């Protein structure tokens, strides 16, 4: 979708306590929520006179002209009197972050940093495999870095259309196909949204999880491994004779990266 936001010819109307301005927002979709998101992304959060963004009011649709749908919006900035002031519709999204670790089962270490054997017992090269037995590789459960975060916004209830709710459904579980909130493609998963309608106002909380992309990793003799954050990496092993000790060991022969989540355009959320 393509959107444009134009300042009304009246310009900004400042006073001591607040500043108001009217804008025209127009685009190639009949979607009030997308129009609201466009104006929210275009206006300044802080004006040069020290007034902070307090609210955006999207008026009724003006009509269709030159291949675009048009709306008029009124934006209000004002003095920030308290950090506990209730967030007005259209204010800066509230960001919440959690770095609590998650659990993951792995079969391959990043690096073998120690090997100790009984007297007379040989040490075999397992190429970083963890928990090697005669029957396979057991691996281990570890706590891995996990980064979950959410964004909360308040919008007019009229902007939450059936089409928008269906879009949320389609995007849930998807992974970003382009940069999203400064994070590269493949690293952010949209876990869904919670909507709470209060009359003419709706609060929406968008939940995400982030996983770092992998670049130039080495497993055994396999180098140059790359993986986008939410793709799944697994290792295929083969029994090979350790020429030093004349025993059979498990050796990584193939690293496979599987795409398990669809790629979607998270920028459609308008955040």
pTM of the model: 0.56
Residue 205 β-bridge partners:
152, 194
Q: Which residue has the tokens 């073998």?
A: 112
CB-count burial class (<10 Å; 0-12, 13-18, 19+) for 161: middle
Phi, psi dihedral angles at 33 (to 5 degrees): -65, -40
> 89-98, 149-158, 179-188, 242-251 — which is least confidently predicted?
89-98
Of the ranges 88-97, 127-136, 161-170, which one carries the lowest mean pLDDT score?
Answer: 88-97
Mean pLDDT of the residues in the chain: 81
Q: Is the pLDDT of residue 124 over 50?
A: yes
Any idea where the domains of the chain sit in the sequence? 1-86, 93-271
Residues 60-110: tens digit of each pLDDT: 889 999 899 999 999 988 875 433 334 444 455 667 776 666 677 777 777
- Helix, strand, coil shares of the chain as percentages rounded to 5? 10, 50, 40
The residue-averaged pLDDT of 7-13 equals 89
Specify the pLDDT at position 89.
Answer: 45
Structure confidence by residue, pLDDT tens digits, 174-224: 999 999 888 899 999 999 999 988 778 888 899 999 888 999 888 888 899
pLDDT exceeds 70 at position 240:
yes
CATH code matching the domain that covers 1-86, chosen among 1.10.150.250, 3.30.2000.30, 3.30.530.20, 3.50.20.10: 3.30.2000.30
Calpha distance 257→147 (Å, rounded): 21
């Amino acid at each position: 979708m393509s959107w444009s936001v134009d300042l009304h010819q009246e310009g900004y109307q400042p006073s001591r306590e607040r500043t108001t301005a009217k804008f025209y927002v127009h685009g190639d979709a009949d979607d009030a929520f997308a129009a609201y998101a466009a104006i929210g992304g275009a206006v300044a959060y802080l004006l040069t006179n020290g007034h902070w963004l307090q609210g955006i009011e999207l008026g009724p649709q003006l009509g269709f002209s030159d291949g675009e749908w048009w709306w008029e919006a009124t934006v209000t900035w004002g003095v920030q009197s308290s950090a506990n002031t209730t967030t007005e519709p259209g204010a800066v999204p509230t960001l919440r972050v959690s770095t609590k670790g998650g659990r993951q089962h792995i079969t391959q270490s990043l690096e073998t940093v120690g090997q100790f054997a009984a007297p007379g017992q040989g040490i075999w090269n397992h190429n970083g495999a963890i928990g090697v037995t005669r029957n396979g590789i057991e691996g281990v459960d570890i706590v891995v870095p996990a980064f979950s975060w959410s964004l909360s916004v308040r919008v007019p209830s009229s902007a939450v259309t059936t089409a928008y709710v269906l879009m949320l459904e389609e995007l849930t579980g998807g992974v970003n196909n382009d940069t999203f909130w400064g994070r590269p493609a493949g690293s952010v998963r949209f876990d869904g949204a919670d909507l709470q309608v209060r009359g003419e106002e709706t609060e929406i909380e968008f939940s995400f999880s982030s996983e770092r992309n992998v670049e130039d990793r080495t497993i055994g003799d396999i180098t140059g491994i790359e993986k986008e954050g939410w793709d799944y990496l697994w290792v295929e092993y083969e029994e090979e004779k350790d020429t030093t000790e004349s025993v059979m060991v498990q050796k990584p022969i193939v690293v496979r990266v599987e795409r398990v989540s669809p790629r979607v355009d998270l920028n459609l959320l308008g955040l």
